[in-house]
A and B are shown apart, each in its own frame.
Chain A
Amino acid sequence: MLLLSRPRIVCVHRVKSALRNPVFWSGIATASAAILLVGAWFVDLRVGVGTSLALMFWAIRRHRAFGSVPEPVGGPVAPAAGDAGSDAPDGNGLVPLRDTTIESSLPQSMLRQQRYALLVRAKIAETLDGDLQTQAHRLLWDRMGLVPEGLVDLGTAAGGESSQVWLDPVLIDRHCVTNKEYFEFVLAGGYQQPALWDDDIVSGLLDFVDTTGAPGPRFWADGAYRPELANHPVVGISWYEAAAYARWVGKRLPCDAEWLKAASWPIATGGGTLAQRRYPWGNTMDRTRANLWGSGPKTTVPVGEYANGVSVGGLYQLVGNVWEWAATPFQLPRGETVPAGAAAPVASGEVPMKSIRGGAFDTYFDAQATCQFKSGEQVLARKHNIGFRCALSACDVANLFCQSEDDLEEAMI
């Protein structure tokens, strides 16, 4: 431990410099707060002990909450070379510190944070060089699947008529957002950026904390996820947290119709009818293709599993593993009708509800794990079995079908 082994080097009046020293922080990562405080006490009893201890304590809390060095002057920290997701937590359950070499550019850090959707927008893409554009497009096609334009049948409405709607093409994440991906959002101070959040929830942000009181999903601890759950879908997040993350990465939550179209992949069969799949893989339930009650480990699994249950568009786990937040307000199930003149359906306590889709690892009935079935949850609920995936309108992507520099040049011409 740096402070104990070399107590005279880090003087109290240089605490601010020490806080920017990566060696100091690597020591912090393996030491308890108590030892640090004792160490600080031995540093120098003469000069401003109280002030320095307070400063140290603040720094440690900040470090434990966000798992990183307070951002140094000169730009964000860089990832390990050649690895976009190198923040696998250590054996102690905490995500290790980054390499503190200075990131070469903001776009590169955004690519590492999976914020490629911001880089493919027309206004931004035209300012990037061809290589960065290519990288962003490759990531886009690697991480998202295209759902083509067309009709989708939302099901039988109250009046007995089927309700078909036309959808523009949309890109939807191939996997649910993982703990590792969501950690980038927490790490970047997503919970401290009011611009990312709906106006009506800013005052409630203080309530979105983990088991130790740090900002983050409900089941995390010390602002970090358990290491073995890195590639599991993030759960314990409210609808607002899901929406804020989506904004941060330049995407949005899919609406009900988009989710349904991605899962059921409707095909127009003539005569105004649509053939829609009951499950992403077909019309027959096969519990070996999804993590549902009775077919899985009764908890979440990594987002890349159940490859045999992939949808036509290449989207994983649309059914099973976790319910997925959608942007659409929840409509009441059959049998419940809203009286004339009544307000939009809300749950008890006047908390509005949003639609959730796809079933989870503890969904019991086959009928509730179909593409068509939807449930609802209060927007503030942070459940153990609700996660999310993001969407991006195809019209928001510049040069959508370009995957190489040649393609891009051709498109520009």
Chain B
Amino acid sequence: MTPLVTLPLESYQLAKYAEPLVCFVCRFENSFDAETCRGCGAPTALTHQATSPKRAPQMIAVIGPPGCGKTVYLGMLLDLLARRTTGVRALARGAFSVTLQQETVEALASCRFPERTENTPSRWNWVHCQVHLNRRRCPREIIVADPSGDAILGHLEGQGHHPAVSALFARAAAALVLVDVSEVEAGGSDGEYFAVKALSSLDELERKGRRAWRRRPVAVVFTKADVCETCFDDPREYAELHCSSLVQFCHQRFSKVGFFATSVARSDTGPLGSQVPLRVEPRAIVDPFEWLIARTAC
């Protein structure tokens, strides 16, 4: 018979501290009381929560060049999902999951855009939420990050190593690729090239000898589409007309591709050169997200 041994509480805590906390995003081993992952900068609260639910969370990669509207789109999406205006609704898991929504909504309500996301992973916003779809009984655990466009650009061009971006690209279950319509309308093609680069990078990732992304859903989202009404009429046709190489690449490399047009705010360029949101009129924000979730394997 094992004799009862009374241990002081401190030693029990020490034993817990000795066990490393493996980051859910990048698999980096952190100490138990770390606030953010030392590898990718994601909040460790995310890892604590991700290990608790029965169903493992799925990550969605949000990819776009600097200034294409990732933060505004995600913030508004989360606010819309929280209000349950459509068939999809989302419940934030953890205080850190509300920050992106709060910062975006506060800024837009006072007629300004949120600050540009810094190229410092520890400053990025992460969101872990429980998403309920009408057609599905069981809720889905979704993790979304709002990385800096510069970090993604650096990753694609091999100019810097960002574990968070690498992890998102490799482990995400679906991708939202954002293309700025105002740039397309101005005759620029940087957004299209960026999207092709990102998708090409995803396509090259392998898992067990197979192309990992071939069967994962990819939503190409035209942001700031209020500048071009025809984009809303038929986003796919718009893509074929203005971003033909992107459409061609998607059709060749991915089996589940959707094209969407969205707009959050009517904005214009102020005399100082900065964009000023004149009023917030969200259009078709939830559609691409709902489409992705419905096509993401459980």
Give the B-binding residues of A (Cβ under 8 A): 293-294, 332-339, 342, 345, 347-348, 353, 359-360, 362-365, 367-368, 375-378, 384-385
Contact = CB atoms under 8 A, between A and B. Distances in A.
Contacts of A362: 281-283
Contacts of A334: 110-111
Given A333-B111, A333-B276, A365-B108, A293 B269 contact: no
Given A336-B276, A362-B282, A364-B280, A345 B109 contact: no
B112 A363 contact: no
Contacts of A377: 266, 278
Of the listed residues B110, B280, B281, the one surrounded by the most CB atoms of chain A closer than 10 A to its CB is B281
B270 interface: yes
Pairs A-B, 8 closest by C-beta atoms: A348-B269, A375-B279, A336-B270, A364-B280, A362-B281, A333-B111, A375-B278, A347-B268
B276 A368 contact: no
A365 B271 contact: no
B279 A336 contact: no
Contact of B268 (A337, A353, A367): A353
Interface string B250-270: 000000000000000010111
A339 B109 contact: no
A385 B271 contact: no
A385 B263 CA distance: 14
B105 to A, nearest CB: 8
A281 B270 CA distance: 33
A332 B21 CA distance: 50
A299 B272 CA distance: 34
Contacts of B111: 333-335, 368
18 contacts: A294-B85, A336-B270, A336-B272, A345-B270, A345-B271, A347-B268, A348-B269, A363-B280, A364-B280, A364-B282, A368-B109, A368-B111, A368-B280, A375-B266, A375-B278, A377-B266, A377-B278, A384-B229
Contacts of A384: 229
A355 to B, nearest CB: 11
B271 A363 contact: no
B83 interface: yes
A363 B281 contact: yes
Interface of B: 83, 85, 108-112, 229, 266, 268-272, 274, 276, 278-283
B109 A333 contact: no
Contacts, number: 62
B192 to A, nearest CB: 21
A337 B279 CA distance: 18
Nearest to B277: A333
Given A338-B271, A339-B271, A353-B268, A294 B83 contact: yes
Given A334-B110, A368-B280, 18 more contacts: A293-B281, A335-B112, A336-B274, A337-B272, A338-B271, A347-B268, A348-B269, A360-B281, A362-B283, A363-B279, A365-B109, A365-B280, A368-B109, A375-B278, A376-B268, A377-B278, A378-B268, A384-B229
A385 B281 contact: yes
Contacts of B269: 347-348
Nearest to B274: A336
B271 A336 contact: yes
A347 B111 CA distance: 16
A332 B270 contact: yes
B268 A333 contact: no
B286 to A, nearest CB: 12
B281 A364 contact: yes
Contacts of B108: 365
Contacts of A378: 268
Contact of A293 (B109, B110, B282): B282
A333 B281 contact: no
Contacts of A345: 270-271
Nearest to A353: B268
A287 to B, nearest CB: 12
